[in-house]
Structure 1
Amino acid sequence: MKLLLVEDNPTMRATLQRALERQGMAVHTCDDGLRALDMWRSIRPDAVLLDLSLPGLDGLQVLAQARAAGLRTPVLILTARGTVGDRILGLNTGADDYLPKPFDLDELEARVRALVRRAAGAPPPAAEPTAMVGGLYCDAGSGAVYHHGQALDLAPRELALLRALLARPGHAIAKERLFELVFPGESEVQYEAIEVVVYRLRKKIADTGVQLVTLRGLGYLLKAPA
């Protein structure tokens, strides 16, 4: 699978390129909206990962010009602009999917593969059962987390943290690993920031009865109510 990653943040760009290449994908990168279209035409990627805030040309302008030029490559927008209005604007401009930052790297890989699969007309793989902890579970399709069918209202970083914990129910996940998942490529963020996200998430899920437990020296895990 050949990808074009258009991202101007060098740390984020290197992190995503490294993570996707570990999954066997060939990743070409670009840090400028003006050069993105030329690379798009010459590389002919299977999918484009496109940031919106770019120098030269904004990501939406790049996308609009690509579609006007007849480039039909599936596009996944990656951006810190996570409002519903921004998402609708991106999809109406011609994006195929939208993933707000911060996001889980495993989810990014799954969405990229789903985009390419749909473009090729291939059937989706059989869905794996979703782990549930005390009525909390993550919907594999949307990425939203539910408690007994009711969607939780979570900030993007809280959602990334909870999805990471639900992915390994009953197992402690190291603080370092959670930081990578919640703040991917954000080297300017202080390491202790993960504790703030843990504190906020703990308050958000208090009414569910599920506990976000700190295991000193091991990390964090979710514990179902007795």
Structure 2
Amino acid sequence: MINGALNIYKEKGVTSFYVVKEIRKILGVKKCGHAGTLDLSAEGVLQVCIGKGTKMVPFLQEEEKTYEAGIRLGISTDTQDSEGKIIRQCDDIKVDRENILAVLNRFTGVQEQIPPMFSALRFHGKRLYDLARQGIEVPRKPRLIKIYEINLLDFSVPYFKILVKCSKGTYIRTLASDIGEFLGCGAYLHSLKRIKIGKFMIENSLTIEEVKKLAREGKIEEKIYSSEEMLNEAKSFCLNNQKN
């Protein structure tokens, strides 16, 4: 019986649910779930908990997450990413590196963020994205999030890339859109890669094909993070976070 978690690399174009379904099928387990979804167009680290390891999901969700986000200036969409309908366009983008750095600095620390309409949150029992697809917009309560660190990695108009270390519940799509509003030209999330959650790092992640191969060879348990490892990591993060 396998208990614990796998560090899975979710590829673009597949859902987090699909990854869980495939892992469940490959390993022949019933209890299996992820500890934090990634959008269809996003890629990177997905923690997949198995067996008794599913009890660790609430603890893993508390951990700090690190993303590489590509942002496109001058265009705003209704979904805040490249999948949505263009709702505003600015052809005269007067933004330089210093402007971006100044705005990024404003987004560091504890802050309130309004979740996007295109999200899995519920309003009176209905998913927000279902309402959004019907053209219905409802009020959303701001949620408290924390951006531990945000750095500019690359900039070439109209695109730039940032590294974001943040708390659970942070919508990087919304962060990209909000940055665009502060810059005065609008923006949307062009690409997203989650490169780390706690001790789960992208360089150690496994593709579904690699999991299949390891399972056939009887070596998959070598890649399982035990519940004890995950609990100790979560406790360490919570203690450090309280100090900060």
Q: Could you say which TM-score interval applies, normalised by the shorter chain? A: under 0.3
Which protein is richer in helix relative to its size? 1
Give me the TM-score of the superposition, normalised by structure 2: 0.24
Give me the TM-score of the superposition, normalised by structure 1: 0.25
Q: Which has the higher contact order (CA 8 A, sep 6+)?
A: 2
